[in-house]
Amino acid sequence: MSTPFAVIYFLLLAALVATSVFYARKRSKAGRSLTVFEWLWTTPFALALGFLGVWSARGLVDTQKSVAVVPLTALVIGVCGAVALRRHDIWAWYETLDKKVRIVLRVLLAALVPLLSALVVEVPFNELILNGGPSHYWLEVLLIGLLFLGLYFLGQRHAALCVVGVVLCFITGIGQYFIKSFKNAAILPADLLALGTAAAVSKEYVYSLNERAIEGIALALIVICMLSLVRPPLSKGERQGVARRVGLNIAASAGSFALLFVLVAIPNYMGQLGVEMEYWYTMDYYQQQGFYPTFIAVLQDMSIHRPDGYTDEIAQRVEVEHAQNYRRAREANAESKATVDQFNQLKPSVIAIMDETFADLSILDGLHAGYEGPEFFTRGLNDALMRGKLNVSVIGGGTCNSEFEFLTGNSMQFIGAGKYPYSLYDFSHVDGLASQFKKLGYHTCALHPNYATNWNRDEIYAHLGFDRFLSIDDFGGIPDCAVDKVTPNEPHCEVFHSGVSDKATYDYILQMLKEDDAPQFFFDVTMANHGSYDQNNIAPEYQTNYTPDSCPEEHTPTELNEYLSCIKRADADLKELVDNLKQLNRPVAIVYFGDHQPMLSSDFNDYWYTNEPENEHARRVFSTNYVVWANYDVAGQEQKGIADETSIDMLAAQMLDLIGAPVSDFQAAQLDIRASIPSLAVRDYQGKDRNWYAQDSTGQYSQSYYDLSLIEYLNFATKV
């Protein structure tokens, strides 16, 4: 259908251009040539038809559910363009109407502009808009109305400046449409501080438009058409009183923007206006309540909560007490003492690998296809120090929050959902795992084969104590991802799927281990498994062929298998790294883990598991896997792959404990509290009985939870 769609749009574009030329000649013969300003009012409609024609020709318009949308929207856009062009004629007709009719039309126009502009925001992504509408739609209309009012008066009661408001609404709606399409997630305030990162990874996605997106485009142009009909005030007395009129309009504009600011900043959206948010399901709440009211509610929730009764002195005392408990237990244990003595003697190098989107999806009942997980990771590594399920705070994205939790030991539980600490806070005084190793005489190096500026990593890594950061430039630049592609003359830039292969980063680490005898700490954030999973660029030897007994409507077995193929390759690269380390004549420990599951996991989870408790349902997909392994016999440790479920914020402390490395008071306190709270995630925590509890739960674990909240506030919130 792409070619017929393109023809329709191009035909309407030609008709609009022809109509414009004919009308311009007619006006010219009458001695009233069209001004540049009048031509500009028609430009958005012509550009939209041209864009949609090109997009259709490229096969990026998909309206299979409602094919009639294409000719209807094309016709609407063309007619709106013609109306905007002939606005002077419409004004002349308007002046012939009765005064009361004119007043009614003005009021109707003033009401319809913000009402339809709110639809411009909601229609592209919100299926609920025509089913009763968002519960706070009135608030969204009011916010948009005040914005338009301020722009109208700022433009001296000319409506042209109000087009900026329409564009803002359109960008919001179409942006949320794409984010929902790619990740099934809502745009959160912190996302606006990470636009560079989003742009860097977005090139792998396909920007196709469905009927909802096209309807949003048409609605935006209808509003622009209506704005073109807003008649500027008639000038009376030419220049007499110009300064006064300009001053009054600016004052009215300032008043409108002030009211908008008050409406955004003063009322508590969650407390006073009834806007709700459950951060497991942000998309649902955006659809149920409206984009802008929900976005503002989340924005107001951005500050880090200060625990009741908190003081630095109380928090320090609690931290010391828990740290002393841990150290007393460790000193009384002969095996632990042997581990510590060995570490002080050997100073093993440590490799921390956060593998992009690595997870064992066999937890979804084998994907209803007999899937048993990545072979080496699940059935090899029998000599691991520890392994198991890793509870995380993100899914489908937000990689930076997983690495934040690992590198600092702070949990998103006490910072809050919807926030990206790398983008929000100053890390100049924040302690990290790298600085900890650096104080022990280690050389520290971070690796991430993508842009150094993503998530502000170039600045954050320096603050956290990394001596060196190897980014995409060190791997030969951003490559064109293709099957088995290797960039010429660059030994470390083999690519796979979405970027530089895991193996390429491991080869770099092995090379540095061979060239530098000093103990080293590496933190490797890989890239190859990144979405999307419809790229069709997997080499035959890694392709999988699992066929679930059924799939959710939005996914196909092909997409699922592309993801599983990425995991198969990641698993093979990990095996090769382990084999190489076994041959390396120096002690090295590895902690390997996934940052989050792919977003498609959530869709399969919703499809296969229904009518179960919300926490249990979410917990299945807010988890990955980890393993801690060493290429040497660690004194005092059995190395039999002991299983222990944990969370990503506690993983570093556990790894240090396993190899006998010194831990900070904060980490020691964490390890002591683990007896009562084995793991946490952004919205809940696990009790001693391994059941999960909401943040506000009370009971036998509440004191430990409160103690941990004090300690984490002391170690992060007071430093940023």
The CA distances from residue 508 to 68, 493, 513, 515, in Å, are 55, 10, 9, 11
388 DSSP β-pair partners: 626
- Helix, strand, coil abundance in the chain, percent, nearest 5: 55, 10, 35
Q: Please tell me whether the peptide bond between 393 and the residue prior to it is cis, using omega within 30 degrees of 0.
A: no
Q: What confidence score (pLDDT) does residue 700 get?
A: 46
The string of DSSP codes covering 389-438 is EEE-S-SSS-HHHHHHHHHH---GGGT-TT--HHHHS--TT---HHHHHH
525 DSSP β-pair partners: 354
Tell me how far the alpha carbon of residue 685 is from its chain's centroid.
23
Q: Which two tokens stand for residue 521?
A: 């700490």
Alpha helices in 86-236 (DSSP H): 87-95, 99-122, 137-154, 163-183, 195-202, 211-228
How many CA atoms lie less than 13 Å away from 85 in the CB half-sphere? Answer: 26
Chain segment 616-666, per-residue pLDDT in tens: 888 899 999 999 999 999 999 999 988 999 999 999 999 999 999 999 999
> Where in the chain are all domains bearing CATH 3.40.720.10?
312-373+380-601+613-719
The CA distances from residue 314 to 24, 321, 409, in Å, are 78, 11, 20
Q: What confidence score (pLDDT) does residue 280 get?
A: 60
Q: DSSP E strands: which ranges in 433-551?
A: 443-447, 468-470, 495-496, 499-500, 520-525
Q: Which residues contact 145 (CB under 8 A, 6 or more apart)?
A: 113, 114
Q: What confidence score (pLDDT) does residue 252 get?
A: 95
274 close to 268: Cβ distance less than 8 angstroms: no
205 close to 182: Cβ distance less than 8 angstroms: yes
Q: Which two tokens stand for residue 278?
A: 């459950």
- Fold topology of 312-373+380-601+613-719: Alkaline Phosphatase, subunit A (3.40.720)
689: how many CB neighbours lie within 10 A of its CB? 10
Q: CA-CA-CA-CA torsion for 161, 163, 164, 169, nearest 10 degrees?
A: 150
359, 382, 522: which is closest to 445 by C-alpha?
522
Tell me how far the alpha carbon of residue 503 is from its chain's centroid.
26
3-state secondary structure of 39: helix
Q: What confidence score (pLDDT) does residue 101 get?
A: 92
Q: What is the DSSP letter of 686?
A: E
Q: What confidence score (pLDDT) does residue 300 get?
A: 87
Angle at 196 between CA 193 and CA 202, to 5 degrees: 120
SS (H, E, C) 566-626: HHHHHHHHHHHHHHHHHHCCCCEEEEEEECCCCCHHHHHHHHHCCCCCHHHHHHHHCEEEE
398, 390, 384: which is closest to 359 by C-alpha?
390
- The number of residues in the chain equals 720
Q: What confidence score (pLDDT) does residue 161 get?
A: 94
How many CA atoms lie less than 13 Å away from 712 in the CB half-sphere? Answer: 25
Q: Given CA atoms 120, 124, 130, 135 in this order, what sign does their dihedral have? A: negative
Rounded Cα distance, 393 and 411, in Å: 9
Q: What confidence score (pLDDT) does residue 492 get?
A: 47
694 DSSP β-pair partners: 684
Chain segment 117-127, per-residue pLDDT in tens: 999 999 999 98
Q: CA-CA-CA-CA torsion for 264, 265, 271, 276, nearest 10 degrees?
A: 40
Q: Which residues of the chain have pLDDT under 70?
A: 1-3, 65, 194, 197, 200-204, 234-240, 279-280, 477-492, 695-701
SS (H, E, C) 99-142: HHHHHHHHHHHHHHHHHHHHHHHHCCCCHHHHCCCCCCHHHHHH
